[in-house]
């Protein structure tokens, strides 16, 4: 073989060797090792108890809220907001209902505008969401002053609040 082929080959072999040697020092010994033998995984076996001790902040399940908030749950299930999890607006349910007694509700315009700012992209699903121009549509008040998020099809002037 010619030198122009051997030199890059030696460089590649050398780099692979350096990566394998570095892996011995960087990757923890118990990474990917399970009871059944050696398997690749994305955690360390010695780290499992640490993760079991982590408090879950979000439930990501509207059924959790349904038990105590049936009226709100029923109204949201009949609205276009059915696809939005309760915690997106009400915050994490960590230690609820004991602490805090009532979840904080984000009433900022920015929360609603994340989805309801009109976007001119016909190929995205955002084009299907009713949008507004935030600079022209009641820019000085919160959206919930006129719109009930649990019944978004109604507004305050029509008795929806």
Tens digit of pLDDT for each residue in 110-133?
A: 888 888 887 777 777 766 777 788
pLDDT class for 106, splitting at 50, 70, 90? confident
Token pair listed for 90: 């009400």
* pTM summary value: 0.54
Domain ranges of the chain: 3-52, 62-158
pLDDT tens-digit readout, 27-80: 877 776 666 665 666 677 778 788 888 877 777 777 788 888 888 888 888 888
Q: What is the pLDDT of residue 39?
A: 63
Angle at 62 between CA 94 and CA 107, to 5 degrees: 70
Q: What are the E-state strand segments in 2-62? A: 33-34, 37-38
DSSP letter for each residue of 60-122: --HHHHHTT-HHHHHHHHTSGGGGS-THHHH---TTTTTSSSS------HHHHHHHHB----T
pLDDT of residue 17: 97
């Amino acid at each position: 073989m010619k030198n122009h082929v051997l030199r890059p080959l030696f460089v590649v072999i050398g780099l692979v060797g350096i990566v394998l040697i570095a892996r011995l020092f960087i990757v923890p010994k118990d990474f990917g090792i399970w009871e059944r033998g050696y398997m690749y995984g994305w955690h360390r076996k010695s780290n499992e108890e640490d993760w079991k001790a982590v408090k879950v902040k979000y439930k990501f399940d509207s059924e959790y809220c349904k038990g105590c908030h049936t009226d709100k749950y029923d109204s949201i299930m009949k609205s276009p907001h059915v696809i939005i999890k309760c915690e997106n607006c009400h915050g994490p349910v960590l230690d609820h209902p004991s602490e805090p007694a009532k979840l904080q509700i984000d009433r900022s315009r920015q929360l609603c505008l994340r989805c309801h700012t009109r976007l001119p992209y016909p190929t995205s699903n955002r084009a299907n969401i009713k949008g507004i121009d935030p600079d022209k549509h009641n820019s000085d008040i919160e959206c919930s002053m006129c719109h009930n998020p649990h019944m978004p099809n109604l507004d305050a002037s029509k008795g929806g609040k």
